[in-house]
Structure 1
């Protein structure tokens, strides 16, 4: 299985430059997606892990993804850089 680079906030694959977040200087960030990180900061800096879990579940359900895929995505969240304590 190939190693994919994932957003270290939501777990979304960062497989194209278009989905990567940006720094204040406009350069792409290789750790976070554009939905979580923009202009050098998290879009929702007050979001906690439980809120991110709900957000990921809701977005994946909208895409009609299989429940196993949704659960797998939610399970990796605590291991991502933003949520490690």
Structure 2
């Protein structure tokens, strides 16, 4: 089974080619999903990691079968490891 890549902004699994964002030339961006990157630019260039966590928590609790209250602590550890948020 191949390793699953994750969006380096929101952490979404990039399992399908259609999940990927696009680079400045319209080609597939291997690091970011289509919700975060389009045409080589971030869709929300000024979003903070904390605001991104808020968005992703809502999705995870509604759609990913993560029990309420467990997503935020998981993301607080995972998100800082992603390329966009590394310091």
Alpha-carbon deviations, 1:10-51, whole Å to 9, x = none?
111111110000012110000000000001100000000100
- State the distance in 1 between where 2:4 and 2:23 align: 21
Which runs of 5 or more residues in structure 2 are unaligned? none
TM-score, normalising length: structure 1 = 0.87
> Which residues of 2 match residues 1-80 of structure 1 at below 5 A?
3-63=3-63, 65-67=65-67, 70-71=71-72, 73-74=74-75, 75-80=77-82
CA RMSD of aligned residues (A): 2.1
Alpha-carbon deviations, 1:41-74, whole Å to 9, x = none?
0000000010011011011122152238624651
- State the distance in 1 between where 2:74 and 2:11 align: 7
How many residues in Structure 1 have an aligned counterpart in Structure 2? 85
